[in-house]
Structure 1
Amino acid sequence: MKKVITFGTFDVFHVGHINILERAAELGEYLIVGVSSDALNFSKKKRYPIYNQSDRMKIISSLKFVNEVFVEESLELKLDYIKKYNADVLVMGDDWAGRFDWVKPACEVIYLPRTPSISTTEIIEIVKMT
């Protein structure tokens, strides 16, 4: 069974999230999703997510094409997560292109294009202005 792993914050869930997760699921038979912890999100973006990590995990867990969900505590632990879950493929959005090529000895790495004209950051900015 080919296992695919991917990671993300998945805050203010939108169609772009569904698109990348569906495409990731199509690359194997079992999809594992690491949801960034609140602390990791703060360290990356200098803000906490709108939805807390347990709510974001519940949203991702509810998707029929997601088989397993866990909390991602650190970007530096990608290889550990890949090994722990015996992943064959790491999928990331193309905004991370090249950033995780260092795990290629352990698994295939695929960067998928993001959905044009949609991002959580943009959604949050628009909501703030209204």
Structure 2
Amino acid sequence: MSQRTVITFGTFDVFHVGHVRILERAAALGDRLVVGVSADALNIRKKGRAPVFTQEERIEIVSAMRVVDEVFVEESLELKGEYITKFGADVLAMGDDWKGRFDEFASLCEVVYFPRTPSVSTTALIEHIATSS
């Protein structure tokens, strides 16, 4: 039986329980979990600000998770199909805040969207920390 590879992507900035849960749920879908951590430059283009933690720090944090087998830098949202092919992914797992956005990859692999962890948002956490200081 061949190994089932799951791929997911994210910024994983200000790492929290929602990140832990999505990585654990993604890992449960297969035998190997590959994670694309968004490059600093990608985050600046996507969100208009740099992440709190650097790309290298975020890679180190995600790599430390026992359920994660491999981590790489996601340079561009437009390369998702190439990443799926490169890593031989059988499943693309994403949070449901992206629901429908990656259905185009259903011809390459199974696409699964997980419900977000209620009341946990990186943006809200950053705003809370900023206003509390």
Pair in the same fold by TM > 0.5: yes
**Structure 2 gap segments, 5+ residues each:** none
Q: What's 1:76 paired with?
A: 78
Q: What's 1:46 paired with?
A: 48
Deviation at 1:76, TM superposition (A): 0.5
Q: Percent identity?
A: 62
Q: What's 2:118 paired with?
A: 116
Q: Are positions 1:2 and 2:4 aligned together?
A: yes
Partner amino acid, structure 2, of 1:89: V
Q: What's 1:104 paired with?
A: 106
Number of aligned positions between the proteins: 130
Cα distance in 2 for residues equivalent to 1:19 and 1:42: 25
Deviation at 1:53, TM superposition (A): 0.3
Deviation at 1:12, TM superposition (A): 0.2
Structure 1 residue ranges (4+ consecutive) displaced by more than 4 angstroms after TM superposition:
none
Normalised by the size of structure 1, how large is the TM-score?
Answer: 0.99
Report the aligned-residue RMSD: 0.4
Deviation at 1:62, TM superposition (A): 0.5
Q: What's 1:18 paired with?
A: 20
SS in 2 for 1:110: strand
Deviation at 1:41, TM superposition (A): 0.5
